[in-house]
Amino acid sequence: MTEPLKIYTIPTCSDCHHAKRYFKEQEVPYTEYDCTTNPEYPEEVKRLTGKQIVPTIVMGDNVFIGFAE
C-alpha cells in the first residue's frame, strides 16, 4: 500500500486549504502536519526545501512547494 501524502500547513494559508480540499475530493489519503502545533514541523519543511513555505507536499521521495490544481 502506498504511503499517504504529507502536507505541511498553517491554519491561515489559503493554498493549504485548497490542497487539502483537492486531495480529499480526489480521495487521495494524506497526513496533515500543522506547523503551528509542533516546532519540529517547520524545521522539517526547511530541511526538505531550504525554505519555510507552506503548503509543502511530500509524495514519496518528491517534494512540492505550494499548490495549484
C-alpha cell at 41: 514541523
13, HSE (Cβ side, Cα atoms, 13 Å) = 24
Q: In this model, does residue 14 exceed pLDDT 80?
A: yes
pLDDT digits (tens, 9 = 90+) for 30-64: 999 999 999 999 999 999 999 999 999 999 999 99
Of the chain, the end-to-end C-alpha distance in Å amounts to 25
Question: Which pTM does this prediction carry?
Answer: 0.93
Average the pLDDT over 13-36 and give the result. Answer: 97
* CA gap 8, 14 in Å, rounded: 13
Residues 6+ apart with CB under 8 A from 15: 54, 55, 66, 67
Residue 1 has a pLDDT of 53
Q: What is the set of domains in the chain, with CATH numbers?
A: 5-54 (3.40.30.10)
